[in-house]
Structure 1
């Protein structure tokens, strides 16, 4: 994982990008930063743009869904 501390946030978030992500400048990736009670998610190509803030439980469910594990376990996201 690569780390990118951000100055200017309420508290310094330490952003991580998966080591499986491409190092190419035009690659599409997300970065995450864990904070007390919250997991932040942002677009690596637009670090000043919007962010998602998720509870740790919501983050776990999101990762399971995105990796396909939720569907294989019989869980479905609303609207699917």
Structure 2
């Protein structure tokens, strides 16, 4: 169970700057992690158990979810 002194406000990465184009997250009262879009605050959210969120963050930190380089993306022909 989450501690009562854990803030439940939305948090987003400091890397997002002032644009606000970022995911945001917060802890729920039952200690899960809720994730949403900072541009659509009234939009849908996803909720993850703490162990799944921790595994995802560790995977991102290890580079498994790095954005591909522009050279690695397939070319697209305009319509």
Normalised to the residue count of structure 1, the TM-score between the two structures is 0.59
Tell me the equivalent position of 1:21. 16
Matched, 1:57 2:55: no
Q: Which has the higher helix share?
A: 2
Structure 1: segments with no counterpart, 5+ residues: 1-11, 72-80
Task: Trace 1:1-80 onto structure 2 (pairs within 5 A).
Answer: 13-24=8-19, 27-35=20-28, 36-67=30-61, 69=62, 71=64
Corresponding residue pairs, total: 57
Asked which structure has the greater CA Rg, the reply is: 2
Q: Does the residue aligned with 2:24 lie in a helix, a strand or coil?
A: strand
- Which structure carries more relative contact order (alpha carbon 8 Å, separation 6+)? 2
User: RMSD of aligned C-alpha atoms?
Assistant: 2.1
Structure 2: segments with no counterpart, 5+ residues: 1-6, 65-79
Q: Which has the higher strand share?
A: 1
Normalised to the residue count of structure 2, the TM-score between the two structures is 0.60
